[in-house]
A and B are shown apart, each in its own frame.
Chain A
């Protein structure tokens, strides 16, 4: 028995599963380890909430799971008095629509700008410094100007997301286009490509995956700008709701909304990543080599 135990420890020492440089957590341990911080966070919250609610059942800041579930149920089932839509659904759809439109516009412009800057030196000399300048302007600082210029309607939210993400993404695409081996372009010319053929049939397909990665990275800032714009001027939307109920300190609404936003962000990222794996299998090989 003792010997078996010694053997076990010896094996563990040689093939550590957690500690040290050479650790190799197995598949199940990997999953388990990934869940640990989540479990800790949830437990701490539940315990703290439980303690507080025992002392004072009306305490608002750490609502119980039941309380949150009730609040969510109400938001899911209740129609907005003014518009007649279900609140949670409408908030989600509005926010997603703004986010989608802003990101789509930004991605298209980034592609156009970055691609042409990367390929045509004249275009680059004309617009690259300006794009760099725009990318440094803090978008939230010009929100008041945007509010004046575009009013408080849908446009301003889309514009803020666009301004906040397009320039950085276009610089990213530009870098990806510049990083392509020059041989690819020369080769295309010897294969009879026209200048536009080089840009749209040789360079474009190779910067597409980089653009998608760039969109993934920009989704974080995009949510930030969306929530900020909705906090200032909106009549529905996830950000609007959070800032609205903040006045009543309704943590039972805010916490589920934060979780929902996190989930949406995660889902968007996952979708883009899966699409890339499927559409651009060569990209990962080329990038790693």
Chain B
């Protein structure tokens, strides 16, 4: 069933259509289309320099696309706002606030100083609920620098969750953690995702993590071919070259060792990460039901 763009836009939390982004002569994103539904845990991988962070910043609203449409919850994206929660690899937490104050900060900021009067009980209960959800109740009065890296990221999750964002954006959230802690947090994130029915957009450079965590995997890559030819005059940017629904992983990290898990990773590696394996735009593996890709006539041109 082919859905129209309008239908998809209405059904999606995050919607990108014909998005281009160029810095001067350098094209980074080249006609990217994407629709993400509520409740998806969508992970995005790609080789370094493919523009993951650029795409991320467009969704966040820190930058504008050169052309094309980016909308969240049906509305075009403006400057960063409460629609979109965020967890960074670092600097998510404010060093001058305790764990509790970091988590409650969003509620206080949103209400202003006068609006917060008389609400401290309500805010306290709400913050404690999320702090308990990330299992940090006994550390609530510590400062971020007194916590381990994994604990800091859990606080960052609670801090973002309390705002109930339409979509939670995560930029390499576990990139700086030790392998053991990292795996633990991946499982933890899945539990939270399930419990709070979140929509998550998860950017990582770690393929294994992307496949393990995601219910949907997107691969952004500059390694493909199209009707525009191969000359140096072609300014090509990255496209989503792979888009698949993934089976829901039930907690256990043991799946990472299963043959089909490894096979999928191999497949993705070939599709997106191998500079010598150039798939034609018409041959992309876009099996996800919401996946769509409007190609331009140029890109479709035969006989390069």
Binding site for B on A (CB under 8 A): 181, 183-184, 186-194, 197, 201-202, 205-206, 280-283, 285-286, 289
With A190-B81, A191-B82, A197-B109 as contacts: A184 and B145 at CB distance below 8 Å? no
Give which listed residue, A184, A188, A194, A282, contacts B112 with CB less than 8 A: A194
- Asked whether A183 lies within 8 Å of B91 as measured between CB atoms, the reply is yes
- Asked whether A189 lies within 8 Å of B95 as measured between CB atoms, the reply is no
- Asked whether A186 lies within 8 Å of B60 as measured between CB atoms, the reply is yes
- Asked whether A201 lies within 8 Å of B91 as measured between CB atoms, the reply is no
Closest partner residue, chain B, to A197 (CB atom): B109
The 4 closest A-B pairs by CB, nearest first: A192-B110, A191-B106, A183-B91, A189-B80
With A186-B60, A197-B112, A285-B145 as contacts: A192 and B82 at CB distance below 8 Å? yes
Q: Fill in one digit per residue for B94-124: 1 if any A CB lies within 8 Å of its CB, else 0.
A: 1110000000011011101000000000000
Closest partner residue, chain B, to A194 (CB atom): B112
The answer to whether the Cβ of B92 comes within 8 Å of any Cβ in the partner chain is yes
Instruction: List residues of chain A with CB within 8 A of the CB of B88.
Output: 183, 187
| A211 vs B91: C-alpha distance when bound (angstroms) | 22
Instruction: List residues of chain A with CB within 8 A of the CB of B108.
Output: 201
* Shortest distance between the CB of B164 and any CB in chain A (Å): 11
| A195 vs B96: C-alpha distance when bound (angstroms) | 19
Instruction: List residues of chain B with CB within 8 A of the CB of A190.
Output: 60, 80-82, 84-86, 160, 163, 165
Instruction: List residues of chain A with CB within 8 A of the CB of B106.
Output: 191-192
Give which listed residue, A183, A201, A282, contacts B145 with CB less than 8 A: A282
Chain A, interface SS category: helix
* Number of inter-chain CB pairs below 8 Å: 69
- Asked whether B82 lies within 8 Å of A206 as measured between CB atoms, the reply is no
Q: Fill in one digit per residue for B55-89: 1 if any A CB lies within 8 Å of its CB, else 0.
A: 00000101000000000000000011110111010
Q: List 11 A-B contacts (CB under 8 A).
A: A183-B90, A189-B80, A189-B81, A190-B82, A190-B163, A191-B106, A192-B109, A197-B109, A201-B109, A205-B96, A280-B96
| A160 vs B91: C-alpha distance when bound (angstroms) | 40
- The CB with the most chain B CB atoms within 10 A, among A187, A190, A192, is that of A190
- Asked whether A281 lies within 8 Å of B82 as measured between CB atoms, the reply is no
The answer to whether the Cβ of B12 comes within 8 Å of any Cβ in the partner chain is no
Instruction: List residues of chain B with CB within 8 A of the CB of A192.
Output: 81-82, 106, 109-110, 163
Instruction: List residues of chain A with CB within 8 A of the CB of B160.
Output: 190
- Asked whether B95 lies within 8 Å of A286 as measured between CB atoms, the reply is yes
> Told that A189-B81, A190-B84, A191-B82 touch, could you supply 14 new A-B pairs with CB distance under 8 A?
A181-B91, A184-B91, A184-B94, A186-B60, A187-B86, A187-B91, A190-B81, A190-B160, A191-B109, A192-B110, A206-B95, A206-B96, A281-B143, A282-B145
The answer to whether the Cβ of B159 comes within 8 Å of any Cβ in the partner chain is yes
Instruction: List residues of chain A with CB within 8 A of the CB of B163.
Output: 190-192
* Shortest distance between the CB of A115 and any CB in chain B (Å): 15
| A183 vs B88: C-alpha distance when bound (angstroms) | 8
* Shortest distance between the CB of A202 and any CB in chain B (Å): 7
* Shortest distance between the CB of A139 and any CB in chain B (Å): 33
* Shortest distance between the CB of A176 and any CB in chain B (Å): 13
Give which listed residue, A193, A201, A205, A282, contacts B143 with CB less than 8 A: A282
* Shortest distance between the CB of A204 and any CB in chain B (Å): 10
- Asked whether A186 lies within 8 Å of B82 as measured between CB atoms, the reply is no
| A193 vs B111: C-alpha distance when bound (angstroms) | 9
| A281 vs B98: C-alpha distance when bound (angstroms) | 11
* Shortest distance between the CB of B84 and any CB in chain A (Å): 6
| A184 vs B95: C-alpha distance when bound (angstroms) | 10
| A282 vs B144: C-alpha distance when bound (angstroms) | 8
| A190 vs B108: C-alpha distance when bound (angstroms) | 13
* Shortest distance between the CB of B5 and any CB in chain A (Å): 27
| A250 vs B189: C-alpha distance when bound (angstroms) | 77
Instruction: List residues of chain B with CB within 8 A of the CB of A282.
Output: 95-96, 143-145
Closest partner residue, chain A, to B96 (CB atom): A205
- The CB with the most chain B CB atoms within 10 A, among A187, A282, A285, is that of A187
- The CB with the most chain B CB atoms within 10 A, among A186, A205, A283, A289, is that of A186
* Shortest distance between the CB of B261 and any CB in chain A (Å): 33
| A197 vs B94: C-alpha distance when bound (angstroms) | 14
Instruction: List residues of chain B with CB within 8 A of the CB of A280.
Output: 96
Closest partner residue, chain A, to B159 (CB atom): A191
Q: Fill in one digit per residue for B127-158: 1 if any A CB lies within 8 Å of its CB, else 0.
A: 00000000000000001110000000000000
Instruction: List residues of chain A with CB within 8 A of the CB of B110.
Output: 191-193
Q: Fill in one digit per residue for B271-303: 1 if any A CB lies within 8 Å of its CB, else 0.
A: 000000000000000000000000000000000
- Asked whether A193 lies within 8 Å of B109 as measured between CB atoms, the reply is yes
Closest partner residue, chain B, to A196 (CB atom): B112
Instruction: List residues of chain A with CB within 8 A of the CB of B62.
Output: 186
With A186-B62, A187-B88, A191-B163 as contacts: A285 and B95 at CB distance below 8 Å? yes
Instruction: List residues of chain B with CB within 8 A of the CB of A188.
Output: 109
Closest partner residue, chain A, to B169 (CB atom): A190
